[in-house]
Structure 1
Amino acid sequence: MKKSIFAVLIVIWMLFIFSMSSQNGEVSSNTSGSTIKVVLSIVPKFNEQPKEVQDNIVESLQFIGRKSGHFIGYMMLGVLSMLLLLKFKNINKKPLFAFLICVIYAISDEIHQLFVPGRTGQLKDVIIDSSGSFVGIAIVLIFIKLLEMKKSRKKRIKYV
C-alpha cells in the first residue's frame, strides 16, 4: 500500500514539474516574479520602496528564485524517489537508482523545455536539478541513520 502512495506522489510531483516547465517564458517569469514579491512583501523596508525600485529588486532576484525552484523541486523528487525505493526489498543500491530516476527526469524536462516558447533547455539546470535530488536523497539517508541510532540507543538502555 505504501508503495502505491509513494508512486502516486512521485507521478503527481513529476506532473507538477512538467506543468511548470510547460509555461511559456513570459508566464514562467511572471510566476517567479510574483512569488518573489509575495516573499519580499513581509520585509517592511521593501514595501517602503518606490515601485520601480521594487521591480528592480524582484528582477535581480528572479534568477536566484528560478534556480532555487529547480533545486527545491528536484530535492523533493529525490526525497519521494528514495522513500519509494526503500519500500522495495529486492532493489540494491537504492540511492543510486533514486538518483538516476531524478537525473533522467531532469534531462527529459530540459528537452521538453526546448519545445516551449520562450524557454530553453540548459545543461546547468540539469546540474542544479541533479544537485537538488542528491540533497533530497541524502536527507532521507541521514534521517534513517538518525532513527537507527535512536533505536539502538533505546535497546542499549533497555538492556542495562
Structure 2
Amino acid sequence: MKQRKNYFRWILVIGWMVVIFLFSNDPADISNEKSDFIINLVNILGIDLNSTLGELANFIVRKIAHFTEYFILYLLVFNALRNDFYLRKALIISLIITFIYACSDEIHQIFIPGREGMFRDVLIDTLGGVFALVIISLYKKFRGKVTKKSC
C-alpha cells in the first residue's frame, strides 16, 4: 500500500510537469490571452490591475504564474521524496529537481514562436521552490516545538 501511495505521488509530480510543459508550449499570443484573462478575472473581483500597474500588469501576472507553478512543483516533489530521505536531503533534492525542470522549461520555450528562454524566469521559478522549502522548514520546526511542549 505504501508503495502504491508513492507511485501516486510521482504521478502527481509528472502530471504537474506536463501542465507546466503545456503552458510553456503556448505561443506568445495565446500566453498573453491567458494572462489577460487572469487580469480581467481579478478586475471582476474589484482590483483593476491595468489602472494600477499599467503595461506591467501582464508581466507581473506572468511572473506570479511562474512562481506559483514552481511553488506547487516543489511541494509535489517534496511530498514524493519525504518518506525516502531525511528531511534536509528531501528539501535539497526537491529544490534541485525544481531548478533543473525550470532550466529545461526555459530551454523548451526557445523553440516556441514568440517566446524566449530567460534566466530571470529560472530564478523566479526557483524562488517559488525556495519559498516552498522555507514554508516546509518553518512548519516542521514549529510543529516540532508544539509537539515537545505538549508532552
* TM > 0.5 fold call: yes
Identical-pair percentage? 31
Q: Kindly tell me: are residues 10 and 85 of structure 1, through their superposed partners in 2, closer, same or farther at Cα, counting changes over 3 Å?
A: same
Structure 1 position 22 matched with structure 2 position 18: no
Alpha-carbon deviation of 1:56?
9.4
Correspondence for 1:130? 126
Structure 1 position 69 matched with structure 2 position 65: yes
1:1-150 alignment to 2 at 5 Å?
Answer: 1-43=4-46, 46=48, 59-89=55-85, 93-150=89-146
Q: Which runs of 5+ in 1 are unaligned?
A: 47-53, 156-160
Q: Which runs of 5+ in 2 are unaligned?
A: none
Which structure: larger Rg? 1
Distance 1:42 1:25 in 2: 26
- Does the 8 A contact of 1:74 with 1:130 survive in 2? yes
Q: Which string of whole-angstrom CA distances, capped at 9 and with x for unpartnered residues, describes residues 58-97 of structure 1? A: 6430101000100111011111112221110479722111
Distance 1:107 1:72 in 2: 16
Alpha-carbon deviation of 1:100?
0.5
Distance 1:113 1:24 in 2: 9
- Does the 8 A contact of 1:106 with 1:129 survive in 2? yes
Distance 1:57 1:111 in 2: 29
Cα RMSD for the two superposed structures: 2.2
